[in-house]
A and B are shown apart, each in its own frame.
Chain A
Amino acid sequence: MSVSRNGQHPRSARNGRGKIRPGAAFYDLDGTLVDLNLVHAALFMQTNLGEWSGRIGYVLSFLARAPRLYLAERDDRRVLNAVLFESLKGVSEDRLFSLGEEYCERVLVKHLYPQAIQLLDANHTHGLRPVLVTGSPDFIVAPLARHLGIEDYAANHLTTVGGRATGRIAEPVMAGEAKAIWCEQFASEHNLDLAASWGYADSYYDMPFLAALGHPVAVNPDRRLRTAAVSRHWPIIHFDTPEAFDSAGHEFADPATDGRPAHGAT
């Protein structure tokens, strides 16, 4: 009654030399690992630039862009990224990176989902190389990646001229299909198997990114991503329900011992 369809070991792809290629875990950032989004980061930047008079100017300029931001969020994540950071035109690169450090330390780290960090660590222990793939700017992502112990990330980069931001994002803008293309290139360069890789994202705009990976997971999905995940049979996971997490112990069973706890009478 049983059918063996393929004699080859199916767990991981093999490269030309017959070695099993490992997978990676690709994480979106905003709304996936942290309960904040790009708008919050942009507002933080603008309210912490210059003196009070300057800050008011930045905020007013931001508010003036609100309708465009709304439309961009609805229609095109690339445009949203571009509109959000165009008001940073003229800010020095050094200042951006120091503000990024500050934002990471004062805000972002406190808004990481504890469940997400636990899963990230567990995946790492399990042998999945952690990679951040996000539309956030690199001056925010770099310190966060250091904090999380992640070596590899893809983030947006503001172009500079003479050490000052032009307000434009360097191509390719890390959103939608660009994330998927970057993952494919990264996997190819590092001899990783995308089919054995996991992807975690929260937004419908991340569909191409998730679809490029063998194991897509919808995290705290918005309505549209949830619908797509259900129809595509993607697992749905929630980091934004702290009740169960708070009431449970947080140690994973050790994979090295086949999940056996290290203690216990024998």
Chain B
Amino acid sequence: MAQPEAKLKELKPAELRHEVSARRELVITTNRRSERRLIAYGEEFMFEKLPVGTRVIYPPPPLDALPDPDQAIRYALLRPENSDPLFARLNPNMRVTIAIDDISLPLPPMRRPDIRERVLNQMLQTLADYGVDDVHLIIATSLHRRMTESEIRRAVGEKAFKQYWPERLYNFDAENRAELTMLGKTDHGEEVWLSKRAAESDLLLYVNINLVPMDGGHKSVAVGLAPYQSLRHHHNAATLRDSHSYMDPNHSGLHRSASRMGKVVNQNVNVFTVETAVNTRMYGGMLDFLHKNEDQFSDWDRTRLSGFRWTLRNMSNELRRQALHQYAAPYGMTGVWAGETQAVHEKALAKVFQQYAVPVKGQSDILIVGVPYICPYNVNSIMNPVLVQCTGLGYLFNMYRGKPLVRQGGTMIVCHPLRDEFHPEHHPSYIEFFHRCLAETTEATELEASFEREFARNPTYIHMYRYGHAYHGVHPFYMWYWGEPARQHVGRVIAAGCEEPEVAARLGWESADTLDQAIAMATSDLGRSATITYLHLPPLVIADVE
């Protein structure tokens, strides 16, 4: 039976799957005949013609998913890295805590069964087989919002939920002083605080999902189960400025600090880590055209794109948001490793880079990125302006190894409508941060010195974090610091398609009604010879910039 033409076109990228060095074809340069490009634009998508000569970087096609993930998990638990098998470390009288990644991973949330559910089911069965009864499951939220009951049920699965919720399955609480303990200090004087339950357990198991290379490793336990007292040592302007980039742990001040802390944790606590990696199959079925090179669009792809954009455009804001956040990604698990934290993380990192890395030659004057409807901190919530800043300057700018995609002093164009919208229950302190603190200064060190402690210790924000579903009072500061390397590096940031210019101004950005206008503004002082790069999302890509 003959293959449809579109299928034949897909065969070529499929051949590239496991060869990072052969991915140069994922970097294309537009010409006069090039198709318009799809650009994430908040809860909608732009479809815009880019100037001739624009370099577009596409994500690699998804790696093959493991054919039998459950068997792979079983194998990992039986044959761990630098560790005895899980069963060999168990005895019936021991106290075990299992910590798991929260709702910030993966993005969008994955279709059921979630990887966490698969790993937990096998872990809990092993623990039961060896008579271990004293087991607690903690969602490693750190200063993120508490997950709701239904979100937890979805992540851990029915079996674990019914057995452990709510007495032995709960969110971490970084403000419950009775449940925190200090393990010691690193050689840099960083205080290492941890969940008391985890610290006093005979065995601490951590179940992680690596979506991008900045996840996992020592960051899992030392951050996920830690309070403000620990986080302030690396979530600050100075440390984050020293990160080049977050996606390159070997050159990231944040990861160096987390590693130092993680080592203190591992000296005091018996940690057994399980890390997993997923492929880039973010959108499937009727939305799989979102992954494609637009030059290879079939008529069916164009029809679906038109229908998709029309539907999004004509939905109410509330309905559109709900519909988008209900979408679950058909991610496939590409690997699972268990055992000693560092050994496990190195293997996981190699797989993650194998999935995302694309070699790119040189920097450009202008970098265009589209900020989508979702980031790690607004699942089932609103992408407020501070989070747009974090996603654009914090995450998308940092999708590189080696050098940033944009040159020092260059211009970043961030496509997003930038509305003055906040979720009053999830992001209460963001509101005050945006309207009060950013009105005074956008300088991260000034914000840190003048306001951070006040927000971190604010009783109302602490209350909403502990008993509601609010991010911790200090969280918007971290989101701001997250954009610090980009703010130090680029000369201008222009919000393209900005609906509320005063919001862009509050962030210290310029605004443009359209992408064309933004490009004209960016090239006005650089001339027509300015080089432009567009980082094509979704899914995700990390540029190895030579």
Contacts from A to B (Cβ < 8 Å): 1-6, 9-11, 115, 118-119, 122-123, 125-126, 128, 198, 215, 217-218, 229-230, 233-238, 241, 243-245, 247-249, 251-255, 258-266
Contact status B460-A261, CB under 8 Å: no
Contact status A252-B177, CB under 8 Å: yes
Kindly report which residue of chain B lies nearest to residue A255, judged by CB atoms. B457
List B431-459 residues whose CB lies under 8 Å from chain A: 431-432, 435-437, 439-444, 446, 450-451, 453-454, 456-459
Contact status B460-A3, CB under 8 Å: no
Contact among B167, B181, B442, B466 with A248 in the assembled complex (CB-CB below 8 Å):
B466
Q: Which residues of A contact B223 (CB under 8 A)?
A: none
Contact status B177-A254, CB under 8 Å: yes
Contact status A215-B175, CB under 8 Å: no
The distance from the CB of B348 to the nearest CB of chain A, in whole angstroms, is: 31
Contact status A238-B440, CB under 8 Å: no
| Besides A1-B490, A244-B467, A265-B184, 10 other A-B contacts (C-beta < 8 A) | A2-B443, A115-B467, A123-B460, A126-B459, A233-B435, A245-B467, A248-B176, A248-B467, A264-B181, A264-B193
The distance from the CB of B459 to the nearest CB of chain A, in whole angstroms, is: 4
9 tightest Cβ-Cβ pairs between the two chains A and B: A235-B428, A122-B459, A2-B443, A261-B177, A264-B182, A249-B176, A1-B487, A264-B181, A249-B178
Listed A/B pairs (16) with beta-carbon separation below 8 Å? A2-B441, A6-B440, A10-B440, A122-B463, A123-B459, A126-B459, A215-B432, A215-B460, A229-B424, A233-B422, A233-B424, A235-B460, A235-B470, A237-B460, A249-B177, A253-B175
Kindly report which residue of chain A lies nearest to residue B179, judged by CB atoms. A249
Give the one of B175, B227, B462, B467 with max A CB within 10 A: B467
The CA of A1 and the CA of B180, in the complex, are separated in Å by 38
Q: Which residues of A contact B444 (CB under 8 A)?
A: 2
Q: Which residues of A contact B454 (CB under 8 A)?
A: 11
B154 near A: Cβ within 8 Å? no
Q: Which residues of B contact A263 (CB under 8 A)?
A: 181
The distance from the CB of A251 to the nearest CB of chain B, in whole angstroms, is: 5
List B197-217 residues whose CB lies under 8 Å from chain A: none
B246 near A: Cβ within 8 Å? no
Q: Which residues of B contact A234 (CB under 8 A)?
A: 424, 431
Kindly report which residue of chain A lies nearest to residue B436, judged by CB atoms. A10
By the criterion of a CB under 8 Å from any partner CB, how many residues of chain B are at the interface? 58
Q: Which residues of B contact A247 (CB under 8 A)?
A: 166-167, 170
The CA of A11 and the CA of B439, in the complex, are separated in Å by 12
Contact status B460-A198, CB under 8 Å: yes
The CA of A218 and the CA of B167, in the complex, are separated in Å by 30
Contact among B170, B178, B181, B462 with A265 in the assembled complex (CB-CB below 8 Å):
B181
B316 near A: Cβ within 8 Å? no
B326 near A: Cβ within 8 Å? no
B34 near A: Cβ within 8 Å? no
The CA of A229 and the CA of B437, in the complex, are separated in Å by 20
Contact status A237-B468, CB under 8 Å: yes
Give the one of B176, B179, B428, B463 with max A CB within 10 A: B463
The distance from the CB of A154 to the nearest CB of chain B, in whole angstroms, is: 21
Q: Which residues of A contact B464 (CB under 8 A)?
A: 235, 237
The CA of A126 and the CA of B462, in the complex, are separated in Å by 12
| Cβ proximity bits B155-175 to A, threshold 8 Å, 1 near / 0 not | 000000000001100100101
Contact status B463-A5, CB under 8 Å: no
Contact status A119-B424, CB under 8 Å: no
The distance from the CB of A200 to the nearest CB of chain B, in whole angstroms, is: 8
Q: Which residues of A contact B439 (CB under 8 A)?
A: 5-6
Contact status B493-A233, CB under 8 Å: no
The CA of A218 and the CA of B464, in the complex, are separated in Å by 12
Q: Which residues of A contact B176 (CB under 8 A)?
A: 248-249, 251
Contacts from B to A (Cβ < 8 Å): 146, 166-167, 170, 173, 175-184, 193, 227-229, 420, 422, 424-425, 428, 431-432, 435-437, 439-444, 446, 450-451, 453-454, 456-460, 462-464, 466-468, 470, 487-488, 490-491, 493, 508
Contact status A265-B182, CB under 8 Å: yes
Contact among B177, B458, B468, B487 with A251 in the assembled complex (CB-CB below 8 Å):
B177
Kindly report which residue of chain B lies nearest to residue A118, judged by CB atoms. B463
The CA of A1 and the CA of B440, in the complex, are separated in Å by 14
Q: Which residues of A contact B183 (CB under 8 A)?
A: 265
Contact among B432, B441, B491 with A3 in the assembled complex (CB-CB below 8 Å):
B441
The distance from the CB of A58 to the nearest CB of chain B, in whole angstroms, is: 39
The CA of A261 and the CA of B173, in the complex, are separated in Å by 13
Contact status A244-B466, CB under 8 Å: yes
Q: Which residues of A contact B440 (CB under 8 A)?
A: 4-6, 10
The CA of A11 and the CA of B166, in the complex, are separated in Å by 40
The distance from the CB of B231 to the nearest CB of chain A, in whole angstroms, is: 11
Q: Which residues of B contact A119 (CB under 8 A)?
A: 459-460, 463
Q: Which residues of A contact B432 (CB under 8 A)?
A: 215
Q: Which residues of B contact A230 (CB under 8 A)?
A: 424
The CA of A226 and the CA of B4, in the complex, are separated in Å by 53
The CA of A168 and the CA of B68, in the complex, are separated in Å by 77
The CA of A238 and the CA of B425, in the complex, are separated in Å by 9
Given contacts A11-B454, A122-B462, A241 and B441 within 8 Å (CB-CB): no
Contact status A11-B424, CB under 8 Å: no
Q: Which residues of A contact B170 (CB under 8 A)?
A: 247
Contact status A3-B508, CB under 8 Å: yes
Contact among B446, B458, B490 with A4 in the assembled complex (CB-CB below 8 Å):
B446
Contact status B146-A235, CB under 8 Å: no
The distance from the CB of A242 to the nearest CB of chain B, in whole angstroms, is: 9
The distance from the CB of A46 to the nearest CB of chain B, in whole angstroms, is: 36
Contact status A252-B175, CB under 8 Å: yes
Contact status A1-B488, CB under 8 Å: yes
The CA of A15 and the CA of B439, in the complex, are separated in Å by 22
Kindly report which residue of chain B lies nearest to residue A124, judged by CB atoms. B459
The distance from the CB of A7 to the nearest CB of chain B, in whole angstroms, is: 9
Contact status A260-B463, CB under 8 Å: no
The CA of A118 and the CA of B467, in the complex, are separated in Å by 11
Contact status A252-B459, CB under 8 Å: yes
The CA of A241 and the CA of B425, in the complex, are separated in Å by 13
The CA of A123 and the CA of B487, in the complex, are separated in Å by 36
Kindly report which residue of chain A lies nearest to residue B427, judged by CB atoms. A235
The CA of A238 and the CA of B467, in the complex, are separated in Å by 8
The CA of A2 and the CA of B428, in the complex, are separated in Å by 24
The CA of A258 and the CA of B422, in the complex, are separated in Å by 28
The distance from the CB of B500 to the nearest CB of chain A, in whole angstroms, is: 13
Contact among A4, A229, A248 with B441 in the assembled complex (CB-CB below 8 Å):
A4
The CA of A105 and the CA of B413, in the complex, are separated in Å by 63
Contact status A261-B442, CB under 8 Å: no
Kindly report which residue of chain B lies nearest to residue A251, judged by CB atoms. B177
The CA of A260 and the CA of B167, in the complex, are separated in Å by 26
Contact among B228, B424, B446 with A235 in the assembled complex (CB-CB below 8 Å):
B424
Contact status B460-A1, CB under 8 Å: no
Q: Which residues of B contact A218 (CB under 8 A)?
A: 424
Q: Which residues of A contact B424 (CB under 8 A)?
A: 218, 229-230, 233-236
The CA of A235 and the CA of B464, in the complex, are separated in Å by 9
Q: Which residues of B contact A251 (CB under 8 A)?
A: 176-178
